[in-house]
Amino acid sequence: MSHAENQTIRILDLMESSGVKFGTSGARGLADDMTDYVCYAYSLAFLEYLLESGQINKADGVAIAGDFRPSSPRIMAAVAKAVTDAGCAPVNCGFIPTPAVACYAMKRGIAGIMVTGSHIPDDRNGIKFYKPAGEILKPDEQAMCARS
Contact 127/26 with Cβ under 8 angstroms?
yes
Report the alpha-carbon distance of residue 92 to residue 100 in Å, rounded.
13
Average pLDDT of span 115-126: 92
User: Among positive and negative, which fits the CA dihedral 5, 27, 118, 85?
Assistant: positive
More confident of the two residues 2 and 24: 24
CATH fold for the domain made of 3-146? Alpha-D-Glucose-1,6-Bisphosphate; Chain A, domain 3 (3.40.120)
d(CA 34, CA 50): 22
- Rounded CA-CA distance 145/15 in Å is 9
63-80 per-position pLDDT tens digit: 999 999 999 999 999 999
Strand 61-66 relative to strand 89-95: parallel, antiparallel, unpaired? parallel
What angle (nearest 5°) sits at the alpha carbon of residue 20, between those of residues 139 and 114? 70
Tens-digit pLDDT profile for residues 86-119: 999 999 999 999 999 999 999 999 999 999 998 8
- Catalytically active residues, by annotation: 118
pLDDT band at 19 (very low <50, low <70, confident <90, very high): confident
Domain boundaries, the chain: 3-146
